[in-house]
Amino acid sequence: MKKTILFALIIMMVMPLAGLFAEGQKDSDAVVIGANIYSFQDGFMNAVMKPTLESYAAERGAEIQIVDSEGQQAILNNQVDIFITKGVDVLAINLVDPASAQAIIDKAKKADIPLVLFNKEAPTEVRNSVMASYDKVWYVGTDSAESGIIQGQMMVADWKARPEYDKNGDGKVQYVMLKGEPGHPDAEARTRESVKAFTDAGIGVEQLALEADPNWSVQHGADKMAAWLTSSFAKDIELVICNNDNMAFGAITAMKAAGVRLPIYSVDALEQALTHISEGELDGTVLNDGVNQAKATIDLAINAAMGKDVVEGTSWKLTSDGSKAVRVAYVGVTPANYMDFQ
């Protein structure tokens, strides 16, 4: 009898420990992804990319730890070191400074941890050499120039179709530009390509003002647009070009406060942008497909952590130009098709 009771007590003590061991074993089998967002202050990254990374990682059965790099490369460098010390299976890194890509790649290579860079890419002039420096690094993002090209094509088409856009009748576009973060590949490409579309179409351009904002913020758009609308060149403005939706939202607020309606175009196709299009306050935006960028990042990260071909079992395709990249396409959104994206 005593032996039976003793045996029962041992079983009761061992069972919880066995359960904990099994539970710990299950957790250790899940791929652990160490990830960051360059700044939670960026509306697109925080509202679209971050929640999709979290939800899709959970859907794929992976564990993801996402930190805020607060717009500082030094903070990101330290966060990567911490992830490596913690022994994550793979890194998914949104660079603060694209020029620092090599430093992050070197950290991952030294620790022999796969690395997926996303949304911010190494500068064009060093891109292929940087990506070739480690066999376990890949990139997920867009073709930065594409968004500016599409935005420019929308503006050119509307300019040609609406003679009233040319307020002074000189056949030339007088514009103001709300630019994003200086040096950011998307900001630089959008700024360049959106205006180039006019010159490529044989239409003259005149830049009245350009202001950059490292935070791509609503407040920046509102403040600058309000200042431009009270400037000496206010009556000459014929077009407002914005590198992202947030700055466009601010510009729209300033125009409404001043009782002014100017043609305005942006990039991202956030839900609020679709509302502004439906209400006749925004003339076009470009879908920056953050959902699919996030999903591709998770898919590649999980495959890399498991030692598989990074696009195995997915619909993603790597480019053949040496950049080891998955490119997610942009799409133009206009008053004619915005309901397709709601």
Cβ 91 vs Cβ 67: under 8 Å:
no
3-state secondary structure of 25: helix
The H or E element spanning position 277 is: helix 271-278
* DSSP summary character for residue 163: G
* DSSP summary character for residue 45: I
From the list 117, 94, 48, the residue with the least C-alpha distance to 304 is 117
CATH architecture of 31-142+289-328: 3-Layer(aba) Sandwich (3.40)
3-state secondary structure of 92: strand
Output the CATH code of domain 145-288. 3.40.50.2300
- C-alpha count within 13 angstroms, C-beta hemisphere, residue 84: 19
- Residue 151 has what pLDDT? 98
**Position 184: which residue type?**
H
Kindly report the three-state secondary structure assignment for every residue of 94-135.
Answer: CCCCHHHHHHHHHHHHHHCCCEEEECCCCCHHHHHHHHHCCC
- Residue 26 has what pLDDT? 35
From the list 244, 240, 183, the residue with the least C-alpha distance to 45 is 244
Rg (CA), the chain: 25
**Position 334: which residue type?**
T
- Residue 28 has what pLDDT? 56
C-alpha triplet 84, 136, 26: angle, nearest 5°: 55
- Residue that the structure tokens 């920056």 belong to: 288
The full length of the chain comes to 342
From the list 327, 274, 323, 340, the residue with the least C-alpha distance to 101 is 323
Separation between Cα atoms, residue 82 and residue 257, nearest integer Å? 47
* DSSP summary character for residue 91: E
From the list 273, 301, 246, the residue with the least C-alpha distance to 53 is 301
Separation between Cα atoms, residue 304 and residue 33, nearest integer Å? 11
Separation between Cα atoms, residue 247 and residue 180, nearest integer Å? 8
Kindly report the three-state secondary structure assignment for every residue of 3-40.
Answer: HHHHHHHHHHHHHHHHHHHHHHHHHHHCCEEEEEECCC
20 token code pair: 């904990």
Fold match between 31-142+289-328 and 145-288? yes
Kindly report the three-state secondary structure assignment for every residue of 286-321.
Answer: EECCHHHHHHHHHHHHHHHHCCCCCCCCCCCCECCC
Q: Flag residues of the chain having pLDDT under 70.
A: 1-28
Domain boundaries, the chain: 31-142+289-328, 145-288
From the list 118, 265, 121, 102, the residue with the least C-alpha distance to 183 is 121
Task: Find the largest Cα–Cα distance for the chain.
Answer: 105
**CA distance between the termini of the chain:** 71
Separation between Cα atoms, residue 162 and residue 261, nearest integer Å? 15
